[in-house]
Amino acid sequence: MNKTQYKIRLANENDAQAVHDIYGAYVPLDYITFTLDNPDVEYYRQKIILTLEDYPFLIAENNLGEVLGYVYGSRLRPHDAYQWNVEWTIVLSPDAPKRQGIASALYREFANILVKQGYRYIYGVLVDTNEVSFAFHKSLGFEEVGHFANAGFKLGAWRGITWMVKEIGTFANEPQTPLKLSQVLHPD
């Protein structure tokens, strides 16, 4: 089987439709996301713009310009002292080829940027029945750090989540405020 050719690039607001459609394909399922109704395209447009201030939002795109998948970061918890933690979301299109390393490549690029910004941990929050995602996180070196039974109710049942974490920074020194994305992508 030929490997799919793709490149990884920064997202922009024109990707909102593709991100909306890819995520929307998983919303009706019970083991990928706790989202019950997929937000509209405008929500994703705003999300891309706002995310890119503080975190990478990356797209894997094939040579026809089709979006194969994406990854982005978000704040783990609102309180200031949590600011060095990043929760990530990574999704490939249902149509994208799997087990070809595309999500791993997205991870590597994503983590490289986060390290430059000064973040310390990446957290994955998985529905506890998402065995593929669990295996994927383990392959990247994430460790399971928590399980919350009955964390959400979807499609007629209470469902649990698993938290996984990957350390990407050091803890010896007092940290500086994480850099803005523009400071590491376009340093003065």
Ligand X SMILES: CC(C)(COP(=O)(O)OP(=O)(O)OC[C@H]1O[C@@H](n2cnc3c(N)ncnc32)[C@H](O)[C@@H]1OP(=O)(O)O)[C@@H](O)C(=O)NCCC(=O)NCCS
Residues that bind ligand X (CB under 6 A): 26, 32, 90-92, 98-104, 124, 126, 130, 132-133, 135-136, 139
Tokens of 71: 């990854």
Return the number of the residue (132 or 145) whose C-beta is nearest ligand X. Answer: 132
- Smallest distance, Å, CB 94 to ligand X? 8
Return the number of the residue (90 or 165) whose C-beta is nearest ligand X. Answer: 90
Return the number of the residue (51 or 130) whose C-beta is nearest ligand X. Answer: 130
Return the number of the residue (94 or 175) whose C-beta is nearest ligand X. Answer: 94
Rounded Cα gap, residues 171 and 59, in angstroms: 30
- Smallest distance, Å, CB 168 to ligand X? 17
- Smallest distance, Å, CB 5 to ligand X? 14
Tokens of 28: 């009706």
- Smallest distance, Å, CB 72 to ligand X? 12
Which of these, 71, 74, 78, 75, lies nearest to 11 by C-alpha position?
A: 71
- Smallest distance, Å, CB 142 to ligand X? 10
Q: Helix, strand or coil for residue 114?
A: helix
DSSP string, 34-76: --SS---HHHHHHHHHHHHHHS-EEEEEETTS-EEEEEEEEES
Return the number of the residue (17 or 139) whose C-beta is nearest ligand X. Answer: 139
Q: Number of C-alpha atoms within 13 angstroms, CB side, residue 179?
A: 15
| Cβ density class 57-69: b for 16+ within 10 Å, e for less | bbbbbbeeeebbb
